[in-house]
């Protein structure tokens, strides 16, 4: 019996064992012209096997890169694209820095805090007022998502003032979106999906 656990590990399993065997066959051929011809034919087969890749801008280059990767970068052919570098392929991705500063109100999230910081930097005027209104509406939506109880506009205005260190104060008489609007939009989207 021939079990998969006893076989050679596939470098790109999404192409399957038969494609890998064809790549191995092409890699071991002596005649360069024959390798080039078979490699071009194999690229067509790989493209047909993975039609979802056609939506990618560099579709053809990705297929050629995959061919080189499956050959363990040993395939010596004339490719229409530069051969990918083994060092780059084995290179570990850069570590993404994780922000260490705490979020003051977790239900609003870091984005709201960043928006408030941006609003503080803006010059006074109608654009800043509109931005403050947008932030407050977003805060209310976030608050309603996490807190199903009633949330008053005054609570949102107080939180905005606290988060901004007293630098953003909503104009008296400002009104935010109604709680029913937030929940109604969510329900109507849900009903449309069915």
The mean pLDDT value for 34-47 works out to 94
Residue 39's contacts (CB-CB under 8 Å, 6 or more residues apart) are 26, 67, 75, 77, 79
Distance CA 130, CA 124 (A): 11
154-178 pLDDT, tens digit per residue, is 889 999 999 999 999 888 888 888 7
Give mean pLDDT, residues 183-191. Answer: 53
Residue 92: count other Cβ atoms within 10 Å of its Cβ.
5
Q: Please say if the pLDDT value at position 182 is more than 80.
A: no
Mean pLDDT lowest among 18-32, 37-51, 149-163, 177-191:
177-191
pTM over 0.85: no
Neighbours of 83 (CB within 10 A): 14
What does the pLDDT read at residue 185? 56
Question: pLDDT digits over 61-120, tens only?
Answer: 999 999 999 999 999 999 999 998 888 888 888 888 887 888 888 888 889 999 999 999
CA distance 158 to 31: 77
């Amino acid at each position: 019996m021939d079990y998969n656990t006893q076989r050679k590990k596939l470098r790109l399993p999404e192409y399957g064992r038969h494609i890998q065997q064809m790549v191995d066959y092409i890699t071991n051929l002596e005649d360069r012209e024959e390798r080039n011809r078979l490699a071009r034919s194999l690229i067509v087969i790989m493209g047909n096997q993975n039609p979802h890749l056609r939506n990618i801008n560099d579709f053809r280059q990705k297929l050629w890169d995959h061919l080189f990767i499956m050959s363990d970068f040993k395939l010596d052919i004339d490719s229409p694209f530069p051969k990918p570098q083994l060092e780059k392929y084995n290179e570990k991705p850069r570590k993404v820095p994780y922000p260490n500063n705490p979020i003051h109100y977790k239900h609003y999230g870091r984005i709201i805090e960043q928006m408030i910081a941006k609003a503080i930097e803006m010059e006074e005027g109608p654009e800043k007022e509109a931005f403050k209104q947008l932030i407050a509406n977003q805060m209310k939506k976030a608050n309603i998502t996490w807190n199903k109880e009633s949330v008053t506009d005054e609570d949102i205005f107080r939180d905005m003032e606290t988060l901004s260190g007293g630098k953003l104060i909503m104009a008296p008489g400002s009104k935010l979106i109604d709680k029913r609007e937030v929940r109604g939009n969510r329900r109507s989207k849900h009903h449309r999906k069915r």
